[in-house]
Structure 1
Amino acid sequence: MALNIKIHKADNRGKADYGWLKARYSFSFANYFDPLRERFGVLRVLNDDIIDGGGGFDTHPHNNMEIITIPLKGALEHRDSMGNSSVIREGEIQYMSAGIGVQHSERNFSDSEPINLLQLWIFPKTKNTKPLYDQINLEGKRIQNSIQTIVSPEGGKDIIKINQDAWLSLLNSDAGLKHKYELHKPDNGLFVFVIEGETVIGANIARHRDSVEIKGVEEITLTINAPSKLLLIEVPED
């Protein structure tokens, strides 16, 4: 497969403003639809949400979806039909495998301060499984200037186990460094989301909230131009 790199600028993402919720969508979602931006392989959703104090999503259902939530600022209160009740804060990662079906609610834990979070939906490898929940805390465990796996098919210490041949990693890097990412499976693609900073991938300069789709490679070099935080999402292409 030939190398294929596409950059998607932050301002071209879908947009929604519900008053209490301001959202940017990397892929078609809710009232935003772009036939060219429906998914990247099995990565179906990457939403960048800002929820006002006291706001949130009331109880609603999911099935056959792997859902990962990453708070960037603030704290999120979660309750679900499996009996889980928790608060997810900056520095923590939440995982819910909806399987045959689960209901949950998500609300800003603060009545006054907004929360900013990323939420990803990934199609599962095996459908109709038992719903699962997991949560990890990376506070004090972040590795500067190194690609740190946070989700994988096998799981591990401070790594969530996912029902898919997918790997999620975080990279917090100083400027002036280069990092090589080696894909775990030859048929996987890599989706790079720039949480903050600036990086060069191929001939593309990606900045704050830009994303880059990469296919047809076994490894890719990330050149960091400014202090950066990146989310690396490796998923099957089909």
Structure 2
Amino acid sequence: MKSRLTSGFSIIDEVLTELRDRGAANRIAVTLPESFAENWFIRRVPDFYHQNSAVDLRLNASNRRIDLAAEGFDFAIRYCPLPEKGLDAVDLFGDYVVPVCTPAFADRYRLSEGVRSLSGIPLVHLENRTPDPEWANWESWSGVFDIEIDPPEGVVRFSKISSGLQAALTGQGLVLCGIAEAYDAIMSGALEIPFGPAKHVPTGYLYRLVSVSGRPKSLLQRQFQEWVVDTAGAFAESVSGLLQHDPQR
């Protein structure tokens, strides 16, 4: 009797182990910045679902720096320099800082490519947006293109909470955004680049797909990595086209 029970428990344990392994093979845990998740990734990930209906995709949209090895995440999409030892990274694309606003805001303040002064125009200032030393703020952007701005007093300020995209979409002011996050809103016509796409400043960091070095990947995880890389490549080409041609003309 005891041997039969032991045998039965062994079979149950084997079945549970197989189910856990099968579930793990379909599971992909990804962490990525909140604004990037909302404005870029979520809009594109249905394509991966359509190709892989069995996937158990677990997304963590957080600006907290996740320890992939300790917290059990398979991938991170990060806007970062080259990662530290123990992590592998695949470059996805760089970013470009551009001023954006709603078409109604641009009309109200008569913004156009020929404008040489932003005096009196509400500017949204983002503080501690990113540690990237080459990310342009209003002072550096205006210096590159020799455009006058008012001293940063009595302006709308956001501190490390978002890309500022919502402030632009709600017409609160002119916002310097990364084109990676503003792209879909620009292409839909919800936002525009009032001074033309040529007035962009490239950033220093890259968006990268990060994973733990030496950790085996399941077939589905490898397919996810390929999908991210392919999607990022197509996006980078689209951004290049946008910066060379104004779609609003």
- TM-score bracket, normalised by the shorter chain, equals under 0.3
Flag the structure with higher helix content.
2
Relative contact order higher in (CA < 8 Å, ≥ 6 apart): 2
TM-score, normalization: structure 1?
0.21
TM-score, normalization: structure 2?
0.21
CA radius of gyration, larger in: 2
Flag the structure with higher strand content.
1
